[in-house]
Structure 1
Amino acid sequence: MKAIFNTDQGKVRGRNEDSGGIFLSDDQLLAVVADGMGGHQAGDVASQMTLDYFEKKWQEISHPFTKADGAKWLKGVVQEINQTIYEFAQEHPECKGMGTTVVAAICQNDAIFICYVGDSRIYIYDGDLKQVTEDHTLVNELVKSGQLTKENAENHPNKHILLRALGTEPQVNSDALTIEWSKQAQLLLCSDGLTNKLSDERLKDILSLDETLEMKSELMIKEANEAGGEDNITLVLIANDDGDLT
């Protein structure tokens, strides 16, 4: 597998409240993207705490996960992170109300374990592009209930309202799943600074290019900024090739 992490402050925000990274072991990798909640104090603190906690827990892993325990491990870590952020905010008044989204994926040669909270996304590309996460937003719930079309949801004024986030409540309800992927497939984890600016069709076009992961990630960020760049833009891109983990 090959993987790359890329992030950009964008053209409007005063600081980058996103965090993300890739952590390797012999037979599997962990990828994380966390988007600190805009409009709340210390969103960058919450997203960085999420990344640091994942890294600490990953260093404790000594063997590849089985298909029965990968997603379960992720859900447990997410719950611990939620409690850690929530308690930190209670003890530090300047951070009260901070929160973050998270998408996390453990990638092996044939399986991917995923856990997520919020509206950051994970896509898989294998000739076709499929969003494998579901936005935990008010607008998505309106779409699911038939009160709003998917087309109208794209530019809805309440699109940013999250129904779930890490750190804002003592407990959090995360979603987890296990999927398979084939050789040459690609996995994209990203914050909404990317998906609010690039359509699924454009993401598919870029992922289909005969270019390096670095070039694809740079093109995605460039086009998101050219479309306005109002938000931080963060992504991890992973290719399931035959090479060693890099």
Structure 2
Amino acid sequence: MHKFNLIAGAFSDKGNFKDTNEDNILVKIGEDKSGDFGMFVVCDGLGGLDFGEIASNTAVVKLKKWWEEELAQIIKTKIQDEIPTMLSSVLKKINETIIEYGIQKNKKLGTTVSLIFIYGVRYYILHVGDSRIYSVKNKIEMLTEDHSYVAYKVKNNMMTQEEAKISPDRHVLMQCVGVKKEIDIFKQSGILSDKEIFVVCSDGFYNKLKEEDIKSNIINDDFDDETLQKSAKKLVQLVRSRGETDNISVILVGVKKNKIL
């Protein structure tokens, strides 16, 4: 029998040109008899000025509150399989809260949400927008789907991946949290692998990176909190050095298997 330890590093930067950082991140790790469990979230706010920051911060605060006030009872009653459904409800409430705030202020604002929850031997992903979650093992695998106009066109063979990367419409979202009453939450789940690293990031992080950049700056075989933190900072600095105009945020989540005697 095995249990998993979770190790994380995170870095968020306002980037080269923006006055404020409209990204918000959340890193939470706990422990019980089954090993470590955790929730890792990147939210990229939209709306300009400080409104994007308000939207992304609202999402992070509400998710943090759920972790602190409701999760203990969920684990105690052993209904972990219901976590995706419960988190979907939280995201829908966040959507309503941001919409109501926008109506009060006569402003359009919203946020992407990319969330991975890890418990036992499984991970659960909930996602809206164009932030992303990757898995890094022997290869890099994108675990989320972009809710963007160009991603829709690529999926329907109306545009190539190469054309999408340079399209002036590449930042146009078809979905985010806080704009429309109904949100279609992308969900994914899977089994953890030893020495797997999850990359949770905003679009400002991946815009100017190639897969080789990520793999060459992350050590899969022997990592700890310090090495993942250094990797996160190094990758953000690399993106910034390439002239990225957006905010840049990343969380690296490492999974290590420990034997239980």
| 1:202-230 Cα deviation digits (max 9, x unpaired) | 22222246661011101110110011021
Choose from 117, 138, 151 the match for 1:140: 151
Choose from 29, 32, 41 the match for 1:24: 29
Residue 89 (structure 1) shift: 1.3
Structure-to-structure mapping, 1:9-20, within 5 angstroms: 9-20=14-25
* CA distance, structure 1, for counterparts of residue 182 and residue 152 of structure 2: 21
* CA distance, structure 1, for counterparts of residue 49 and residue 178 of structure 2: 12
Choose from 159, 165, 168 the match for 1:154: 165
SS in 2 for 1:12: coil
- Would you say 1:179 and 2:159 are equivalent positions? no
**Alignment correspondent of 1:220:** 235
Given that 2:132 and 2:144 are in contact with CA atoms closer than 8 Å, whether structure 1 keeps it comes out as: yes
Residue 41 (structure 1) shift: 6.1
**Alignment correspondent of 2:42:** 33
Residue 116 (structure 1) shift: 0.5
Q: Taking structure 1 as reference, are residues 67 and 58 closer, same or farther at Cα in structure 2, changes over 3 Å only?
A: closer
Choose from 119, 126, 141 the match for 1:108: 119
TM-score, length-scaled by structure 2: 0.87
| 1:68-123 Cα deviation digits (max 9, x unpaired) | 32222221111111011111111223xx1011101011112421111000000000
Report sequence identity in percent.
29
| 1:14-72 Cα deviation digits (max 9, x unpaired) | 11000001122224111110000154760000000000000001112114365632222
Residue 172 (structure 1) shift: 1.3
State how many pairs are aligned.
Answer: 241
Choose from 128, 151, 154 the match for 2:139: 128
Residue 242 (structure 1) shift: 4.1
* CA distance, structure 2, for counterparts of residue 191 and residue 141 of structure 1: 19
SS in 2 for 1:33: strand
Structure 2: 5+ residue runs without aligned partners? 1-5
Amino acid at match of 1:108: Y
Given that 2:45 and 2:110 are in contact with CA atoms closer than 8 Å, whether structure 1 keeps it comes out as: yes
SS in 2 for 1:157: coil
Q: Taking structure 1 as reference, are residues 38 and 141 closer, same or farther at Cα in structure 2, changes over 3 Å only?
A: same
Question: Which structure has the bigger radius of gyration?
Answer: 2
Deviates more, 1:182-191 or 1:20-29: 20-29
TM-score, length-scaled by structure 1: 0.92
**Alignment correspondent of 1:43:** 52
* CA distance, structure 1, for counterparts of residue 191 and residue 253 of structure 2: 14
**Alignment correspondent of 1:233:** 248
Residue 177 (structure 1) shift: 1.5
Q: Which has the higher strand share?
A: 2
Choose from 203, 206, 210 the match for 2:214: 203
* CA distance, structure 1, for counterparts of residue 140 and residue 79 of structure 2: 26
Given that 1:67 and 1:111 are in contact with CA atoms closer than 8 Å, whether structure 2 keeps it comes out as: no
Q: Taking structure 1 as reference, are residues 124 and 6 closer, same or farther at Cα in structure 2, changes over 3 Å only?
A: same
Given that 1:3 and 1:238 are in contact with CA atoms closer than 8 Å, whether structure 2 keeps it comes out as: yes
Given that 1:74 and 1:114 are in contact with CA atoms closer than 8 Å, whether structure 2 keeps it comes out as: no
Given that 1:74 and 1:104 are in contact with CA atoms closer than 8 Å, whether structure 2 keeps it comes out as: no
Aligned-residue CA RMSD (Å)? 1.7
SS in 1 for 2:166: coil
Structure 1: 5+ residue runs without aligned partners? none
**Alignment correspondent of 1:4:** 9
